[in-house]
Structure 1
Amino acid sequence: MQTVSSYGVEIRKQNIPIRQTLEIYRQAVSYLTEIYEQVWAELKMIPEAKKRFNAAEHLIHTTKKNHAHFDFDIRFPKMPSYLRRAAIQHALGSVSSYESRMEQWEAAGELSGKPNFTCENHAMPVFYRDVMYREGTEGKDEAYLKLYDGHDWRWFRVCLSHTDMEYLRRNWYGKKASAPALEKRHHKYFLRFSYTEEVTLTQTPVKEQIICSVDLGINTDVVCTIMRADGTVLGRKFIDFPSEKDRMYRTLGRIRRFQREHGSAQAGGRWAYTRRLNIELSRKIAGAVAEYARENHADVIVFEYLEMNGKISGSKRQK
């Protein structure tokens, strides 16, 4: 079985044109999306994905009868070929998704909820190795990216977070990483590397497996129970992070007081901070559960099923 792990390395602040590169890439995706929506009737007649992609790439460089002059190279000169193909693939996927949703909506005969076609996107470029990304000197926290400076595509040296690079060296040294993708989180830019591993699953017969049962709670975060397949309980552990929850509850209290005075429209930043606290808490809980299961040689982790549909009422709806 293959598992894919990823890790984001922060790009330290410096004078590099990441924003310009991201802007021109998204403009290219929007431009291509608009083109392919106009000629989708022709493209969808090509069943094979590779041939459809080749036809779409050929289209943006030529003039076709009954269509406008789609000259991609004039609007986006010298764009690296790998980045152009990534933009084509993203645009084709956007148009195909819209057309599929539109067909389903028409077949259902719905009067509301009609899918909207938009060329705006939040696509993030992938820096393919050798042509868009080069590793820096071994042991140094740096890399080289090909970026658009407003006039041309040039190589720029970027500094990477030392702690992030130390983590990769310690845990993924010698492993082959995929081409890094640009990512933006909390007003910071990251290069996200992905690693693929071959993992052998347990060969223990089902009736002989050890189970780690996880029950999510309100007063405690989770309760982990180690048991055999016949129900024999071997151990139990209550996992709780009270300080992290207290911090989150304090921010929720501040939000309630703020909204009473100023309304909910201005509380977006406070809610975003609270969501980040909640995400960090969930990561700590997941790590603690996995560690407890590993310590007890569990073959499988089983979670209870929670019905999350519908609106939850009551004083504990936030929890």
Structure 2
Amino acid sequence: MKIYSTYSVKIKHYNHIFKDTVSVYRKAVDFLINVCLDEWDNIFEIKGNLLQQQYVERCVHTTKDNPTPIYDFDTKFYKMPSYMRRGAINEAIGKVLSYKSNLANWKENPIGNRPSTPKAGYVFPSMYRTVMYNQIEDYVAQVKVYIHNTWDWITIDLRKSDMNYIYRRCKNRKQCAPTLQKRGKEWFLDFPFEENIKLTDTSIYEQTILAVDLGINTAATISVMRPDGTILGRHFCKLPKEIDSLTHSINRIKKAQQHGNYKTPRLWARTKGINHDISVKTANYIMDIAVLYNADIIVFEYLDKNCKVRGSKKQKLKMWRSQEVQSMVTKKAHRLGMRISRVCAWGTSKLAYDGSGRVLRGKDGDFNTYELCKFQNGKIYNCDLSASYNIGARYFIRETLKSLNESSRLRIEAKVPQCSKRSTCTFSTLVNLNAELMSLAG
């Protein structure tokens, strides 16, 4: 698979010289959006992005073979570099395509406001090599910008630490055309990199997986499992210092709101920063364990957080950055050739891993914490650890049944009926499944 990553390099000494370039580019995109809206019936019939771009370019650009285009683009945007013009055309086609798609969906189900006409918005131009960007030295480059009412080259200095990072870490990756970006009052060149990664293709019967249960109190509970149910390791990522700091920061916001100060951007910025730090440390911990055991797959729960949250713990759930942790782990794992999988999250914590039924947590089990639970048979166990067993078991059950032919699968489901309903599978189901597979093989 292909992985894309972007690294920003700060441009030194310049603050305002790029404003006109970005302004001209955005005006060109707005002009081309109107062209695409007028010509959309013809553009939509053309198959292929390159052919669509060529059609729009013939409508706006004067050449020897096309002396009288339909739209007067060249007069309004005199001597715009050809690659920047084509980049603006592609940007306009993409925005109009998205608008038409949203409009069609709205007409089928008219809920909410009608989609608004697309605008250029905060787009930035790509600095294509040789025509827009040239690397002169290791830390010096030339870019073509709109200056003094014309397009001309200027020399820029790039921050040494940023370029050294690229030379050291990205030398084996394919470098694509950089994009001019503004963040705050400073300007950057964002360098995209492309790399081809071959993901692991280990058989299901030989895989080692990390079953990860993401939690609020315990950041991550990890069980390293084999297909036969063997547990190679159990690991807990607890960040008490960070959790206390987050709680203290939230309490400061509450106190400010109690005194009528509802706009607290600095306090919220600090809170979000602490929360992001928790996500980063959790993702790094998971990847360290994955590398330690040379795991093939990292298995998460499929956590849908789009529903409305109710109850006394709703603020903790809203602040829970489970999606961000999964996203960071996915990017890191793919770079190392590991795969990511997700299983049904229903009942992984409610059902005991030994198949004894629902567990008792908190006050129901006479505990002061939700970390512990009591099984129906009286056994006391760590609830998150039990959930991680169930997560790994559901992955192996699903993949094992998929690898069997129809007759074998039906025979297994007749012997182990719990396999047929994935939302109630537990670790004990995997043990029973492996026992039946052994009997069939014998």
- The TM-score with structure 1 as length reference comes to 0.86
Q: How far off is 1:211 after superposition? A: 0.3
- Secondary structure of the residue that 2:314 maps to in structure 1? coil
* Residue 98 (1) aligns with residue 99 (2): yes
Match of 2:164? 166
Match of 1:114? 114
Q: Structure 1's 255 and 106: CA in aligned 2 closer, same or farther, altered over 3 A?
A: same
CA contact (8 A) 1:16 1:158 kept: no
2: CA distance between counterparts of 1:157 and 1:242?
A: 50
Match of 2:134? 134
Q: How far off is 1:95 after superposition? A: 1.0
Q: Structure 1's 155 and 277: CA in aligned 2 closer, same or farther, altered over 3 A?
A: farther
- Secondary structure of the residue that 2:20 maps to in structure 1? helix
What one-letter code is carried by the residue in structure 2 that aligns with 1:70? Y
What one-letter code is carried by the residue in structure 1 that aligns with 2:115? P
- Secondary structure of the residue that 2:30 maps to in structure 1? helix
CA contact (8 A) 1:31 1:119 kept: no
CA contact (8 A) 1:34 1:119 kept: no
Q: How far off is 1:166 after superposition? A: 2.3
CA contact (8 A) 2:253 2:264 kept: yes
- Give the stretch that moved more between structures: 9-18 or 84-93: 9-18
- 1:256-293: CA deviations, max 9, x gaps? 334444543x3345435543443343233222211220
CA contact (8 A) 1:101 1:115 kept: yes
Sequence identity (%): 37
Q: Structure 1's 201 and 88: CA in aligned 2 closer, same or farther, altered over 3 A?
A: same
Match of 1:60? 60
- Give the stretch that moved more between structures: 13-22 or 48-57: 13-22
Q: Structure 1's 220 and 261: CA in aligned 2 closer, same or farther, altered over 3 A?
A: same
* Residue 216 (1) aligns with residue 217 (2): no
Match of 1:226? 224
Shift >6 Å, 4+ stretches = none
- The TM-score with structure 2 as length reference comes to 0.63
- Give the stretch that moved more between structures: 297-306 or 43-52: 43-52
- Kindly tell me the number of residue pairs found equivalent between the two proteins: 310
* Residue 293 (1) aligns with residue 294 (2): no
CA contact (8 A) 2:141 2:155 kept: yes
Match of 1:152? 150
2: CA distance between counterparts of 1:23 and 1:247?
A: 43
Structure number with larger C-alpha Rg: 2
1: CA distance between counterparts of 2:35 and 2:86?
A: 15
Q: Structure 1's 203 and 118: CA in aligned 2 closer, same or farther, altered over 3 A?
A: closer
2: CA distance between counterparts of 1:105 and 1:194?
A: 34
Q: What are the ranges of 5 or more consecutive residues in structure 2 without an aligned counterpart?
A: 63-68, 317-442
- 1:147-182: CA deviations, max 9, x gaps? 222522222233333332222122122543111123
Q: Which has the higher contact order (CA 8 A, sep 6+)?
A: 1
1: CA distance between counterparts of 2:74 and 2:149?
A: 14
Q: Structure 1's 254 and 297: CA in aligned 2 closer, same or farther, altered over 3 A?
A: same
Q: How far off is 1:120 after superposition? A: 4.1
RMSD: 2.6
